[in-house]
C-alpha cells in the first residue's frame, strides 16, 4: 500500500524505554507504577481528576456503561448516534439497556442536538446520552450541552477518535461528561499498541470503575476507606479476595503505559500538524466533497471525504481509483457507517431499509457516499497535493 491509513505511529524512541525495562532482572510487566504515572499524566493533560488505563477503547466503553448499569439496574434507554463504533452500541446491549438511535449533523458528525432533546422530552426512561466526538470534531453542541446540564442528564463522551478536540467552552472533549472514553489503538491520535482510558471527575465512580476493571475486587479500590468498608461488611472473607460486583479484567500493562507516556509527549504537536494537514487537504480537494465542517478546536486524525450529493457512479469510480492508486480507505467513514445497517443491530430490531433511511438520513448518506483516508503527523505537503490530484483525476 503506497498510502496506508496510518504510518509510523509508534517510533523507536517509544520502544527504547520498553527495551530498557525488559532488560532488567525480573521486570514487573503487569499493571504497576508506570500505569499509575500514565493515568496521572493523562488526567492532567485532559483536565479531569481520574483516569484508568484499560486494554482498549471498547473496554472503556464497556466500563462506562457498566457504571451506568450500577446506577440504573432496571435498565432503560440510552441515546446513541447511528454514526459511531460498534463497541458503543454493543456495550449498551450487553449492559441490558436499549439503544435509541439518533441522527447526526453533517458539519459536526456528532449527535443532532435538536433530535436528542426531542427524544429526551418524548421518553421518560432515557438514562443517558452516549455521544461520540467523531473524527476529531467537537460533537457536543452548546444548546444540547446546556439542556443536559439543566436537566441533570447523564452524559458519556466517546472521544476514542478525537483526543484533544476542544469543546466550545475551551475545555477538552472528554472532560465534560460524567465519564469519557479514549482509544489508543494503532491508527488513533496516539497508540499503546492496544489500549484505552476511561475518565471521570467523580470519586465514587472512579472507585467503582477501578473495581469493574479488575474482577470487581475491593483491593483494587484506591481509598483505604473503600477497602475497609468491604472488609468490615464481609469479615468472613479474605480482604485480598472480596469480589464486590460482577466485573471484568480489562487492565493494561506496564509496556503499554511506557509507550503511552512517550506518545503523550508528542500528542499536542501531532494534533497541530494533523489539523494543518486537514485544512490544506480541504483547500485542495474538488468541491464535490463536503467541506463545511465545524473545525474550531478540531483534532483531525483522518481525511473525511463525503460527497455533497448522492452519486453512486462517482462513488464506484472513487473506490476503484483509490484502490488502483494504492490509497487505503474505509468506506462509510468512522465505524463502517450507519450502525443501524449492521447485522448486530438491524437483525435484532428487524429494522427495514426504509425505516433506517427515514430516521438517520445524514448517517445513511455518509454510509453510502462517505469514506476516509489516513492523516498522519509525518505527512508531507507534497503527499497531500498528490492525494488531491488523484481525487481530481477521478471526478
Ligand atoms: C468512536 C470509537 N469508539 C470506540 C472505539 C473502540 O476502540 P478500540 O479499537 O481501542 O477498542 C473506536 C475504535 O476505533 C472508535 O472509533
pLDDT in tens, 175-211: 999 999 999 998 889 999 999 999 999 999 999 999 9
Question: What are 284-300's pLDDT values in tens digits?
Answer: 999 999 999 999 999 99
> Cell 454493543 identifies what position?
90
- Distance, CA 58 to ligand 1 centroid (Å)? 6
Q: Looking at residue 188, what is its pLDDT? A: 87
Mutate to test the pocket of ligand 1, among 60, 160, 336 (most ligand atoms within 8 A of CB): 160
End-to-end CA distance of the chain: 22
Distance CA 218, CA 271 (A): 38
185 lines ligand 1 (CB under 6 A): yes
Whether 110 is in the pocket of ligand 1, judged by its Cβ within 6 Å, is no
Q: Out of 56, 60, 87, give the residue to mutate to test ligand 1, the one with the largest number of ligand atoms within 8 Å of its CB.
A: 87
The sheet carrying 196-200 orders its strands as 50-54, 196-200, 179-183, 154-158, 126-132, 77-81, 98-102
pLDDT tens-digit map of 9-62 = 899 999 999 999 999 999 999 999 999 999 999 999 999 999 999 999 999 999
Residue 161 Cα, ligand 1 centroid: separation in angstroms?
7
132 lines ligand 1 (CB under 6 A): yes
pLDDT reported for residue 354: 97
The arrangement of secondary structure in 12-258, i.e. its CATH architecture, is: 3-Layer(aba) Sandwich (3.40)
Q: CATH topology of 12-258 equal to that of 267-394? A: no
Residue with CA closest to ligand 1 atom 8: 57
Q: Which of the 8 DSSP states describes residue 82?
A: S
Query: In the structure, how many helices (H) and strands (E) does the chain have?
Result: 14, 10
141: Cβ below 6 Å to ligand 1?
no
- Spatial separation of the C-alpha atoms in residues 220 and 211, rounded to whole Å: 6
| Residues 141-184 pLDDT 10s | 999 999 999 999 999 999 999 999 999 999 999 999 999 999 99
Ligand 1 pocket, mutate which of 6, 54, 58, 59 (most atoms under 8 A from CB): 58
Q: Which of 65, 85, 136, 181 to mutate to test the pocket of ligand 1 (most atoms within 8 A of CB)?
A: 85
Q: Tens of pLDDT along 334-347?
A: 777 999 999 999 99
Residue pair 363/103 in contact (Cβ under 8 Å)? The answer is yes
Partners of 305 in beta bridges: 371
345 CA → ligand 1 middle, Å: 17
Which atom, in ligand 1's list, is nearest to the CA of 59?
A: 11
Rounded to 5, what percent of the chain is helix, strand, coil? 45, 15, 35
Question: Closest ligand 1 atom to the C-alpha of 61?
Answer: 4
Instruction: State pLDDT tens for residues 80-103.
Output: 999 999 999 999 999 999 999 999
Query: Would you tell me which CATH number, out of the four given (3.40.50.970, 3.90.1150.10, 3.40.50.300, 1.50.10.20), belongs to the domain 267-394?
Result: 3.90.1150.10
| Mean of per-residue pLDDT scores for the chain | 97
| CB 58 near ligand 1, within 6 Å | yes
Tell me, in angstroms, the distance from the centre of ligand 1 to residue 335's CA.
Answer: 8
Looking at ligand 1, which atom is closest to the CA of residue 185? 10
In the prediction, which pLDDT does 301 show?
Answer: 87
Contact 346, 340 (CB under 8 A): yes
pLDDT computed for residue 186 by the predictor: 87
| 296-328 pLDDT, tens digit each | 999 998 999 999 999 999 999 999 999 999 999
User: Residue with the nearest Cα to atom 7 of ligand 1?
Assistant: 57
Q: What per-residue confidence (pLDDT) applies to 357?
A: 97
88 lines ligand 1 (CB under 6 A): yes
Q: Is the pTM of this model over 0.85?
A: yes
Q: Where are the domains of the chain?
A: 12-258, 267-394
pLDDT at 8: 85
Cell of 130: 452516549
- C-alpha of residue 309 to centroid of ligand 1, in Å: 28
Q: Cβ(85) to ligand 1 under 6 A?
A: yes
What's the confidence (pLDDT) of residue 124? Answer: 96
Amino acid at each position: 500500500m503506497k498510502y496506508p491509513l496510518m504510518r509510523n505511529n509508534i517510533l523507536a524512541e517509544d520502544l527504547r524505554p520498553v527495551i530498557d525495562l525488559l532488560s532488567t532482572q525480573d521486570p514487573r510487566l503487569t499493571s504497576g507504577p508506570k500505569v499509575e504515572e500514565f493515568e496521572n499524566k493523562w488526567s492532567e493533560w485532559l483536565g479531569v481528576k481520574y483516569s484508568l488505563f484499560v486494554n482498549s477503547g471498547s473496554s472503556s466503553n464497556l466500563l462506562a456503561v457498566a457504571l451506568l448499569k450500577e446506577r440504573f439496574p432496571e435498565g432503560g434507554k440510552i441515546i446513541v448516534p447511528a454514526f459511531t463504533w460498534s463497541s458503543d452500541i454493543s456495550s449498551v446491549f450487553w449492559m441490558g439497556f436499549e439503544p435509541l438511535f439518533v441522527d447526526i449533523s453533517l458539519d459536526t458528525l456528532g449527535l443532532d442536538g435538536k433530535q436528542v432533546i426531542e427524544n429526551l422530552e418524548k421518553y421518560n426512561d432515557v438514562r443517558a446520552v452516549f455521544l461520540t466526538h467523531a473524527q476529531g470534531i467537537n460533537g457536543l453542541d452548546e444548546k444540547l450541552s446546556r439542556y443536559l446540564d439543566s436537566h441533570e442528564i447523564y452524559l458519556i463522551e466517546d472521544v476514542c477518535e478525537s483526543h484533544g478536540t476542544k469543546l466550545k467552552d475551551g475545555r477538552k472533549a472528554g472532560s465534560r461528561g460524567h465519564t469519557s472514553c479514549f482509544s489508543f489503538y494503532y491508527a488513533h491520535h496516539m497508540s499503546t499498541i492496544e489500549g484505552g482510558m476511561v475518565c471521570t471527575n467523580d470519586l465514587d465512580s472512579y472507585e467503582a470503575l477501578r473495581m469493574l476493571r479488575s474482577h470487581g475486587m475491593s483491593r483494587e479500590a484506591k481509598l483505604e476507606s473503600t477497602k475497609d468498608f468491604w472488609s468490615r461488611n464481609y469479615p468472613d472473607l479474605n480482604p485480598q479476595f472480596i469480589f464486590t460486583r460482577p466485573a471484568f479484567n480489562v487492565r493494561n500493562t506496564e509496556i503499554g503505559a511506557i509507550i503511552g507516556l512517550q506518545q503523550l509527549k508528542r500528542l499536542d504537536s501531532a494534533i497541530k500538524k494533523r489539523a494543518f494537514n486537514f485544512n490544506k487537504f480541504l483547500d485542495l480537494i474538488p468541491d464535490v466533497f463536503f467541506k463545511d465542517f465545524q473545525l474550531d478546536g478540531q483534532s483531525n486524525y483522518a481525511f473525511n471525504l463525503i460527497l455533497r450529493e448522492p452519486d453512486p457512479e462517482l462513488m464506484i469510480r472513487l473506490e476503484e481509483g483509490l484502490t488502483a492508486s494504492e490509497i487505503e480507505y474505509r468506506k462509510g467513514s468512522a465505524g463502517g457507517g450507519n450502525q443501524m445497517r449492521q447485522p448486530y443491530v438491524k437483525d435484532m430490531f428487524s429494522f427495514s431499509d426504509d425505516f433506517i433511511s427515514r430516521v438517520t438520513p445524514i448517517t445513511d448518506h455518509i454510509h453510502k457516499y462517505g469514506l476516509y483516508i489516513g492523516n498522519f503527523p509525518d505527512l508531507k505537503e507534497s503527499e497531500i497535493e498528490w492525494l488531491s490530484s488523484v481525487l481530481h483525476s477521478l471526478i
